[in-house]
Amino acid sequence: MKLLIIEDNERVARFLKKGLGEAGYTIDHADSGRDGMFLAVSESYDAIVMDRMLPGGIDGLSIIVALRKDGNKTPILILSALGDVDDRVQGLKSGGDDYLVKPFSFDELLARLDAIMRRSQDQATDNSLTIGDLHMDRLSHKVTRGDKVVNLQPREFKLLEYLMRHANQVVTRTMLLENVWDYHFDPQTNVVDVHISKLRQKIDDGGPAPLLRTIRNAGYMLSADA
């Protein structure tokens, strides 16, 4: 998997190169908007991580707009110190796939990068999802674990659906807040954890092997392999 990092801050760039390299990615790095633009256009990448404010005459959003106009669909994760709701909306509207505000935790970045790359791989919205012996039918809103029917509240259904769509990858609390509840703030209480443990009781209770695991310091992962 090949990534392009467009980031002018040396320390952040070094951190990203090292971390993502250890996560198994091949990295190209550009430290200006101009170089980033050239690389993005001429090479083929699995995903691009880019800063929003860049030196070199071309800022991040302009690069995205240009790439999208050109028909380039490479998933793009925007990193930015501009964290207002409006800034985020602007970033996503211009064609970015996700928006992460600086300062960020590396786990959050990795999880979101995984998510956007997966999203571009299976664009098809299947009406049924299956992870191990957990099965979800999106049309009839029916969930079964083995041959046992699991009864879920609408919001629990949505939570499970998101986890199943992102099976085998780490999903952070913030990602769940944003995508399942559409909340863009951090609750002071550990609400997400409580929701997850309730869901876990429903799907993993009596199952042969737990599917929903907690990943320390990062989030959760739904996976069939132990």
Partner 1 sequence: MLSQPRFSAFTVALGFVFVSAVALALFATPIQYAWHEIVEERSTERLREDAQRLENVLRRNGQDALKTVIDAMVEAQQPDDEKFILLADRSLKPITGNLTIWPSTIPDTPGTYTNEFTLNGRKVEAIMIRTTLSDGSNLLVGRNTAKFKTVETLFWIGLVGAGTSVLVFGVIGGMLIRNALLKEVHEINQTANAIVAGDLSRRLQRHGGTNELDILAQTINRMLEQIELSVQGIRNVSNAIAHDLRTPLTELRTQLEELSVTRPSPQQTFAEIDTAAADVDRVIAIFNALLRLAEIDNGARISGFVPVDVVNMVTDAVEFYQPVAELRGMTLSLTSNVQIVIAGDPVLLAQAIGNLIDNALKYATHKITVVVAVTPEDVICISVIDDGPGIADGEKAKVVERFYRGDASRGTPGVGLGLSLVAAVTKLHGGNLVLNDAAPGLNAMMRLPASTSRR
Residue type (1 letter), 156:
E
Report the alpha-carbon distance of residue 170 to residue 117 in Å, rounded.
13
In the complex, minimum distance from the CB of residue 120 to partner 1, in angstroms, rounded to a whole number: 26
Q: Which is nearer to partner 1, 28 or 178 (CB)?
A: 178
Q: Which is nearer to partner 1, 112 or 195 (CB)?
A: 195
Q: Which is nearer to partner 1, 85 or 139 (CB)?
A: 85
Contact 183, 177 (CB under 8 A): yes
In the complex, minimum distance from the CB of residue 155 to partner 1, in angstroms, rounded to a whole number: 6
Q: Which is nearer to partner 1, 31 or 108 (CB)?
A: 108
In the complex, minimum distance from the CB of residue 97 to partner 1, in angstroms, rounded to a whole number: 20
Contact 171, 119 (CB under 8 A): no
Closest C-alpha to 163, from 155, 171, 154: 171
Strand residue runs (E) in 40-111: 47-51, 76-80, 98-101
Distances from the Cα of 153 to the Cαs of 81, 88, 109, 156, 160, in angstroms? 37, 30, 30, 5, 10
Q: Which is nearer to partner 1, 194 or 209 (CB)?
A: 194
In the complex, minimum distance from the CB of residue 91 to partner 1, in angstroms, rounded to a whole number: 15
Residues at the contact surface with partner 1, assessed by CB under 8 A: 83-86, 103, 105, 153, 155, 181-191, 194-195, 198, 217
In the complex, minimum distance from the CB of residue 162 to partner 1, in angstroms, rounded to a whole number: 15
Report the alpha-carbon distance of residue 226 to residue 224 in Å, rounded.
6
